[in-house]
Structure 1
Amino acid sequence: MGLISYEMEITSSVPAAKLFKAFVLDADNLIPKILPQAIKSVEIIQGDGGVGTIKVISFGEGSQYKSVKHQVDGLDKDKFVYNYSIIEGDALMGVLEKISYETKIEASSDGGSICKNSSIYHTKGDAGITEDQIKGGKEKALGMFKAVETYLLANPDAYN
């Protein structure tokens, strides 16, 4: 098995606690509302939302993928850290065992936040994944982040 990783950092004017509540803790409800073309629905099939929870995420009409199984690997509500893995689904493209993610949201000195994301692609055997495939995943993640940020800026009383 091979490992391919990448990191991405995004700054936001939204405070860290508010961003974590919306982008992580309530993402299963919020993202299908504001981006139905990307995420159609999220269904918990095992667990209570904490570590060990398994969800089925169904993608919207605009996605090239149908669905994935998402497993919660870690959740620290005090430090704003969320770890999860994609463990099944067509987004693994038959060449990946899983994709592991960490999202860490930190307060910035200007009252906003810095969102640090890291991903590790666990490939099957000698299988590879292209830079374009990784770039596509990064762009989708950035698009979802920006949609949540835009929602929070337009709705300042949400998630206080």
Structure 2
Amino acid sequence: MYGMVSHEIEVNVAASEAWKLYGTLQLAKIVGEGGLPDLITKVDVVQGDGGVGTILHLFFTSGMMISSYKEKYTVVDDEKRVKEAEVVEGGYLDLGFTLYRVRFEIIEKEDEENKCITKSTIEYEVKEEAAAAANASSLVSIQPMVAIMNLAAHYLIQNHNNNNNNRGF
């Protein structure tokens, strides 16, 4: 069984500014340092510098269906402003999923240079027997990605305003 869910948020910063956060390990650092204490307790960089092949180990709060998993960046495209990561160990794979991929895209808004759209998409594939047993589609929620995008938007706007204030604007 294959499925996909996505969500978009408009952010009042240029796409290039948003990509500086999404296209690096900075977003993982913000999330891992307590940015989402009700969702994620820690994010460790297992290997890599934020490029393709980087592996992160995410730890979730108790009470979540999944306690942790490792994900690997499979796409980091600075030109298209797209980053994809796939779960490579634990988490959804332990529940019978054969694919769990998260994609972040930063989309430039036409005619509005200081606005962009952040889009998150989750693609998943689960074995039929696991899907029936666990009601797999109910395990996949875009809400954690929405929480990360909201955290990122808040960070971007706050830093954008601070940078402007520091320039005397």
TM-score by length of 2: 0.77
Distance between the aligned counterparts of 2:64 and 2:21, measured in 1? Answer: 22
Distance between the aligned counterparts of 1:124 and 1:62, measured in 2? Answer: 25
Alpha-carbon displacement from aligned partner over 1:133-158 (angstroms, at most 9, x marks no partner) = 33xx2112111111221122223246
Is residue 2:42 matched to residue 1:48?
no
Aligned to 1:5: 4
CA RMSD of aligned residues (A): 2.3
Deviation (angstroms), 1:75: 0.3
Distance between the aligned counterparts of 1:7 and 1:38, measured in 2? Answer: 19
Aligned to 1:121: 124
Considering fraction of residues, name the structure with more helix: 2
SS for the counterpart of 2:130 is: coil
Alpha-carbon displacement from aligned partner over 1:98-147 (angstroms, at most 9, x marks no partner) = 3012221111132211123322112124432455433xx21121111112
Query: How many residues of Structure 1 are paired with residues of Structure 2 in the alignment?
Result: 155
SS for the counterpart of 1:155 is: helix
| From 126, 142, 146, the counterpart of 1:142 | 146
Distance between the aligned counterparts of 1:143 and 1:92, measured in 2? Answer: 22
Aligned to 1:74: 75
Aligned to 2:157: 153
Alpha-carbon displacement from aligned partner over 1:16-61 (angstroms, at most 9, x marks no partner) = 1222222341112111232233222222223332112222111245
Distance between the aligned counterparts of 1:15 and 1:62, measured in 2? Answer: 37
Q: 1:22 to 1:63 in 2, by over 3 A?
A: farther
SS for the counterpart of 2:143 is: helix
Q: Which has the larger radius of gyration?
A: 2
**Contact 1:14/1:112 (8 A) holds in 2:** yes
SS for the counterpart of 2:95 is: coil
Q: 1:64 to 1:131 in 2, by over 3 A?
A: closer
Q: What code does the residue aligned with 2:151 have?
A: A
SS for the counterpart of 1:127 is: helix
For structure 2, the 5+ residue unaligned runs are 164-169
**Is 144-153 or 33-42 further displaced after alignment?**
33-42
TM-score by length of 1: 0.81
For structure 1, the 5+ residue unaligned runs are none
Identity %: 24
**Contact 1:7/1:116 (8 A) holds in 2:** yes
**Contact 1:88/1:98 (8 A) holds in 2:** no
Distance between the aligned counterparts of 1:96 and 1:130, measured in 2? Answer: 8
Distance between the aligned counterparts of 2:47 and 2:154, measured in 1? Answer: 31
Distance between the aligned counterparts of 2:66 and 2:139, measured in 1? Answer: 13
Deviation (angstroms), 1:91: 4.0
Distance between the aligned counterparts of 1:8 and 1:32, measured in 2? Answer: 22
Deviation (angstroms), 1:73: 0.3
